[in-house]
Amino acid sequence: MRPFNARQLALAGLVAFLTLGPFDGVEAQDKQELERIERQIETQRQERQILDSERRALDKGVSSLRRNLIRAARTAQEHEAVLSRLEDKLPELEEESKIRSAALQERRRQMTGTLAALERLSRNPPQALLLSDAAPVNIVRNAILLRAALPTLQARAAALKNELSEIQSIRTELDSRRQEIKVASRTLAFEQSRLNALMGHRAVERRRMLQQSESVNARLAALNRKAQSLRELFSNFAKEKRDEDAARTGKETSPKQQSTTEQPSRQAGPIARNPARGSMTLPARGRVVERFGQDTGTGSSAKGATFRTRYRAQVVAPFDGKVVFAGPFKGYGQILIIQHGDAYHTLLAGMRRVDATLGQRLLAGEPIGVMGTQEDGARLYVEVRRKGQPVNPLPWFTAANNKVRG
């Protein structure tokens, strides 16, 4: 066998060095790094479980808060309705009191002459009349007239007594109604205060849970800039909805995307079902002053209904949905648009304060704003649109709420 030369020996030593020494060290380092990464993964997994638990608890708290808000808003609206009925009744009672008082004064005037005649008769009894210088015919005529007047006088006196009694009853009822109005006003103020406190809590929770508002704001602000009319604005909403549905469908059909995407919370779920006729909650209690299709006096017909409400009346969401627009819009002032299902929107305008925000999910009856003072007009404009086209909103509200004055 040929002896190894120096070059071959050097090559063999290098191979031995590479296969034994350095690779053993690298493998150990890789193993330690892998263990460190696995520990980090486990730590993050535990933190994720804690965060998920906190999120679920927060979701429960928010759900409870929203139910309390809905109950408080409903109670406030009920007290508004009671107060409005009492205030409507008060002018009727006051007017009736004035009419009865005027009638009473007229009866008193009519009886003045008859009472004077009776007083004279009481001063001249029949025996005295026989001894007077008057002609017998006149004496008999006067006696007959006075005797005939007596039943009429008695009837008028009884009617006068009844009038006095009725007027007293009306005044008593007026005092009672005024007292009821004071109590109802205090109760309403308390409910509004409690509702405002709940709204403050909800605002805090909303800031913690809705972190995507900036992107939503930017997108909807862009829509507003592009839209020249409500028709175009609703068309933009429809396009946004189609794009979102397409994106959601793509995510649902991608197993890889599903495995790496966090499960959305209930607030980020799909928009509620389409409303049915008669299923919506009336946004505010009040009187209809302009109906759908009515001539507005500007050469066009009303595309919605306008309600005259109490000042500072509570406004609630008419149906489950998502706020897709909140802010000023050309010719409408501050408006709020809520998307219901995939084909319906409601538009509300005229509120002094809007409590809902862009992208917010709403439940039917959840408070969304407050009307202005009487000086502001306190008129709420409501539109219902199906596939972008306005429809008569009144048939969409529940039968109980349809007992709208006016």
pLDDT digits (tens, 9 = 90+) for 347-390: 999 998 888 888 888 999 999 999 987 665 689 999 999 888 89
196 vs 273: which has the higher pLDDT: 196
Which pLDDT does position 212 carry in this prediction?
Answer: 46
Q: Which backbone phi and psi does 131 adopt, to 5 degrees?
A: -95, 0
Which pLDDT does position 400 carry in this prediction?
Answer: 45
pLDDT digits (tens, 9 = 90+) for 154-177: 677 777 777 777 777 777 877 787
Q: 366 with 73: CB under 8 angstroms?
A: yes
Q: Is the dihedral of CA 209, 211, 217, 219 positive or negative?
A: negative
Enumerate the domain spans of the chain.
1-209, 213-261+271-396
Q: Report residue 302 CA to chain centroid gap.
A: 22
- Among the residue ranges 38-42, 98-102, 268-272, 308-312, the one predicted with the least confidence is 268-272
Q: 160 with 153: CB under 8 angstroms?
A: no
Compute the half-sphere exposure of residue 307: CA atoms within 13 Å on the CB side of its CA. 27
* Residue 179, CA distances (Å) to 97, 146, 176, 190, 299 in order: 18, 48, 5, 17, 46
Mean pLDDT of the chain: 71
Classify strands 367-371 and 389-391 as parallel, antiparallel or unpaired: unpaired
- Among the residue ranges 64-68, 114-118, 147-151, 401-405, the one predicted with the least confidence is 401-405
Whole-angstrom distance, CA of residue 320 vs CA of residue 133: 97
Which pLDDT does position 268 carry in this prediction?
Answer: 38
Domain 213-261+271-396: give its CATH superfamily. Answer: Glucose Permease (Domain IIA) (2.70.70.10)
pLDDT digits (tens, 9 = 90+) for 252-311: 544 344 333 333 333 434 445 678 788 899 999 999 999 999 988 888 899 999 999 988
pLDDT digits (tens, 9 = 90+) for 300-344: 899 999 999 988 889 999 999 999 998 888 777 789 999 998 789
Provide the percentage of residues in the chain whose pLDDT is more than 70: 52
| Cα angle value 356/315/234 (rounded, 5°) | 55
